[in-house]
Amino acid sequence: MSPEGRPSVTFAIPCCDAGPFLRPLLESLLGQTRQDFRLLMVDDASTDGSVELAREVAGERIEIHANDRRIGLARNWNRCAELVETPLFCIAHMDDVYEATYLEAMVPRVEQRPRAAFVHCRARAIDARGEFVDAHSETYKQRFWAGLDDGDPTMVFRRLMRGNFIMCPTALYRTEVWRTLGGVDPELRFAADWKLWFAALLAGFDVVGEPSTLVRYRRHDRNATRDQIRSLRRYEE
């Protein structure tokens, strides 16, 4: 909590027909060991009762904003960021799960690095049932981690040129920097976060890695990344 008693962090959830995955996400956020956060959800015209479920699980703790019409993934991320009123925020993906110590570990890392645009951490893949799974792409990304906790911008830039090893839902952003950079490109889906990482580095900010594994990244048939692979949009971007 800030000295004035206000939350210092926001979990901003961009939601669109989250289905059965929204409950475990919300429960993981509500179970954080550090409770000085604001919980915000921006619903992108869901038709599956996601808004009602969020109210059932989180009650008065969650603040819900509903878009009048569906605006799409990246635009909804930017809409989430527009509503943030705290110095730090995380775009909490609607189908992932956060370890209870996520904020406890991540907030001090950002505060220790005043030039950090954001801090990210490791993640493990889970399936639709929440069971851990082996994912070749995640195994490959681990090789990029040596020395990342130092946040050397040149090293991070070079590694990002070889591939996007940063797991988007793990990032804890400094709100002022996000707005300085203009948020994510609304025309992109798969590469929106990747482009933002480069923009932060080119603007002279640091990108810092926290080596702890603090997020469970869900892989399932409706996962946005898989949609991009099936449609080949990933390769176009």
Share of the chain above pLDDT 90, in %: 79
Q: What is the pLDDT of residue 227?
A: 52
Q: What is the pLDDT of residue 233?
A: 56
The CATH class for the domain spanning 9-236 reads: alpha beta
Task: Return the residue matching tokens 């990342």.
Answer: 148
Residues in the chain with pLDDT values less than 50 = 228-231, 235
Q: What is the pLDDT of residue 236?
A: 58
Q: What is the pLDDT of residue 149?
A: 66
101-116 pLDDT, tens digit each: 999 999 999 999 999 9
Q: What is the pLDDT of residue 134?
A: 83
Q: What is the pLDDT of residue 144?
A: 82
Domains of the chain: which residue ranges?
9-236
Quickly list DSSP for the chain: --TTS--SEEEEEEESS-GGGHHHHHHHHHT-S---EEEEEEE-S-SSSHHHHHHHHHGGGEEEEE-SS---HHHHHHHHHHT--SSEEEE--TT-EE-TTHHHHHHHHHHH-TTEEEEEEEEEEE-TTS-B---HHHHHHGGG-TTGGG--HHHHHHHHHH---S-GGG-EEEHHHHHHHT-S-TT-SSSHHHHHHHHHHHTT-EEEEEEEEEEEEE--TT-HHHHHHHHTHHHH-
